[in-house]
Structure 1
Amino acid sequence: ADPFPLKSELNIPIFTGDEWVGLIGFADSQVVRDWTDEDMSLLTTAATMIGAFWESELARESLEELVRSKDEFLATVSHELRTPLTAVVGFGEILRDAGDNFSQEEHAEFLERVVQQGTDLTNIVNDLLVAAKADIGKLHVAVVPINLRAQASQVFEAFDDDQVANVDLEGEAVYAIGDPDRVRQIIRNFISNALRYGGDTILVTIQSDEEAAKVIVCDNGDPIPEDDRERIFEPYQRAHNAVGVTGSLGLGLAISRQLAQMMGGDVTYRYEGGESIFELALPRDASLRS
């Protein structure tokens, strides 16, 4: 039993915005009180002041996190842009200053590396532009019938043969409703992630079921930690076991999910059977057999 049972109690809720966060009150274990308007007014004022202070602290913490995220983002962008830029400038200077010292095959190899690094730069800038458009509500997608197999094939053709030597594409023509440019962007992000973080075997499968048309990318690399499996779909976030890997802003998967959802589908991750599996699911095109 309570050694000091309350005989009188008056509580006022504390709010931050519309959220209830606690109580403040008076209590008396000696006598039964009739609480006055002054008591109520005092508690209400105290509750308002505590709520305002709490809200200001939350705002301060949020601002500090925003500044920290901005600084980290700028550092990451600078690093990721500098890496391919340095390669492009470096190979360009070699060809300009000592090009006559290299064979035709070496010239071709240097130029191919310039093209690869230029492509990486283009992809980074494209991701930044999509993220910026999304932030200001200017991101739009088309909704047209598309052949997912054909879109995946186009993505493969954009990669250098050596890059996708261990990547296989399986599945017949499957028809979905979506934006072809955005679908290719999602598939490219899937494959780029698998090449960057995955194992030595990557399989891209095109398939459909009664509910959706799908692009599934599997690799036999290490799984994403369970605590990170939703976090990776947040902007500028990467799995903790991917920190330090260059070539990514942590935007690709966040953009991919947002684009998929704008097309009426979704992007998900799971780990099963020793494989990491990223899946793009889109509405099927009912007018075409798939």
Structure 2
Amino acid sequence: MSEHASAWFPDDIIRLIVTASADGILAVDGEGVIRLCNRAAEDLFARPAADLVGSPFGYPIAVGVSEIDLILPGGRKRVVEMRVTATTLHGKRLHVAALRDVTRRRDIERALQAALERQNIVLAVAAHELHSPLAAISVLAHVLRDNGAGLTQQRRAEITDRIIERIAYLQALVRKLLTASRIDAAGGSPVVEHVPVLEVVIEQLAGIEEKSRDVRVTCPEGLVAAVDRAEFCEMLANYLENAFSYGQPPVQIQGRAKAGWVEVRVIDQGPGVPTSFVPYLFERFRRGPGSERRTDGTGLGLWIVRNLAQANGGDAWYEPGTRRGACFCLRLRQAVATRAMSG
């Protein structure tokens, strides 16, 4: 304790204040100058008592409870709860402040609030996106039940195809919502294995059935990525869905090795992405201007691709097409091929 502090406070008061609480304790005079601090306050401010005592406190101080952002040496910040009482000592006004670091508590509260807000948004999006296809399925099923006998075989096949199409959309929506939930929960690490890129591309083409006729593939057979196979499949599936939903065929899938990385590009021949919207492409629930009127979608697909890519040590980004259209890129770590593509 400094000589200046001893002049203000008798030894027994100093000892009482210093030992009474594990919180940081400061005594601040009427001019806003620190006259006393305990060891906990030194730790909180990351400064020794010799620096604190006699220096301006630097924050508004009033009786009651408040929070301050305490700026530490080096620019770091702590959120501090401050409880202030006032007294008079030797005829002079004195504020005694008990300071408690609540940074972790505030971080947890903010994270919880953000999680709740995301959950509410997810529920709202799910309710909105589920309503239309479920209503369509209900109408079509009733048509088949009530008028089936009077429908031609071709008309029944068309209605059945519509139902199958709506069910496929619902399955894709649920898959995206579950993936988004898993990403938010940070549940588990990717199971990285050596995955032949061309093998995954062919699997995804089989999944889009007739649309695969409009896809051109350029990828060496020996190209192998170090990635979670299921997550790689999901990344490529979302890129292909995006190309057919917002672009136009033909769609190109290009795979190549570059400086120890695998780069996969999915290129369409559509109108491309407005320059003003490019910074928001990979944000959650963001969809391009006017896209709500043209096609179904949640705005989750590209956000999922980037998050999964980064979890696997890679990245995802957008480039304008060389002439027209959009080019969505994926970078994954390259692995040495250990087996030929099966088939």
State whether TM-score is above 0.5. Answer: yes
Q: Of 46, 52, 57, which aligns to 2:60?
A: 46
Percent sequence identity is: 24
Letter of the structure 2 residue corresponding to residue 154 of structure 1: E
| 1:122 CA drift (Å) | 0.9
Report the CA distance between 1:108 and its aligned residue. 2.9
- Deviation per residue, 1:190-231 (Å, 9 max, x gap): 111111111343212222223222321111223323343342
Match of 2:159 among 104, 110, 124: 110
| 1:153 partnered with 2:202 | yes
Q: Which amino acid aligns with 1:119?
A: A
**Bigger proportion of residues as strand:** 2
Summarize the alignment of residues 31-180 of structure 1 with structure 2, pairs less than 5 Å apart. 37-41=29-33, 44-46=58-60, 51=68, 73-161=122-210, 163-173=211-221, 174-180=223-229
Name stretches of at least 5 consecutive residues in structure 1 with no aligned partner.
Answer: 1-35
Aligned AA for 1:256?
Answer: V
1:275 aligns with 2:275: no
The one-letter amino acid paired with 1:239 is G
Q: Which amino acid counterpart does residue 272 of structure 2 have in structure 1?
A: P
Shift of residue 269, structure 1, vs aligned partner: 0.8
TM-score under structure 2 length normalisation: 0.62
Residue 121 of structure 1 deviates from its aligned partner by: 0.7
Match of residue 264 from structure 1: 313
RMSD across aligned positions (CA): 3.5
State the distance in 2 between where 1:227 and 1:70 align: 28
Residues 1:251 and 2:311 are matched in the alignment? no
Rounded to whole Å, the distance in 2 between the matches of 1:263 and 1:123 is 22
Moved more, 41-50 or 103-112: 41-50
Residues 225 and 241 in structure 1, CA contact (< 8 A), matched pair in contact too: no
In 1, the alpha carbon distance for the partners of 2:188 and 2:284 equals 15
- Cα distance in 2 between the residues matched to 1:141 and 1:111: 38
Question: SS in structure 2 opposite 1:39?
Answer: coil
The one-letter code of the counterpart of 1:280 is L
1:284 alignment partner in structure 2: 334
Residue number in structure 1 paired with 2:283: 234
Find the aligned partners of 1:262 and 1:66 in 2 and give their Cα distance: 19
Which amino acid in structure 1 is aligned with residue 334 of structure 2?
Answer: R
- CA distance 1:287–1:202, change in 2 (3 Å): closer
Give the equivalent residue in structure 2 for 1:181.
230
CA distance 1:262–1:67, shift in 2 (3 Å): closer
Contact 1:80 1:246 (C-alpha < 8 Å) held by counterparts: no
In structure 2, distance between residues paired with 1:73 and 1:201: 33
Tell me: CA distance 1:69–1:185, structure 2 relative to 1, closer, same or farther (3 Å): closer
Equivalent residue of 1:177, what SS?
A: strand
* 1:72-128 residue CA offsets vs partner (Å, 9 max, x unmatched): 554432221122222222222222222222333333332222222111111111111
Q: 1:228 to 1:144 in 2, by over 3 A?
A: same
**Higher alpha-carbon Rg:** 2
Residue 202 (str. 1) matches residue 251 (str. 2): yes
Shift of 1:164: 4.4
Change (3 A) 1:123 1:69: same
| 2:36 counterpart residue number | none
Equivalent pairs, count: 251
Quote the residue 1:12 is aligned against. Answer: none
Q: Structure 1 residues 136, 170: closer, same or farther in 2, change over 3 A?
A: same
Cα distance in 2 between the residues matched to 1:220 and 1:185: 22
Structure ranking higher on relative contact order (CA contacts 8 Å, 6+ apart)? 1
Amino acid at match of 1:88: I
**Residue 11 of structure 2: aligned partner:** none
Q: Distance in 2 between matches of 1:189 and 1:166?
A: 17
Structure 1 counterpart of 2:15:
none
Mapped to 1, the partners of 2:193 and 2:118 lie a distance apart of 37
CA distance in 1, matches of 2:280, 2:319: 13
Counterpart amino acid of residue 326 in structure 2: S
Distance 1:136 1:203, change over 3 A: same
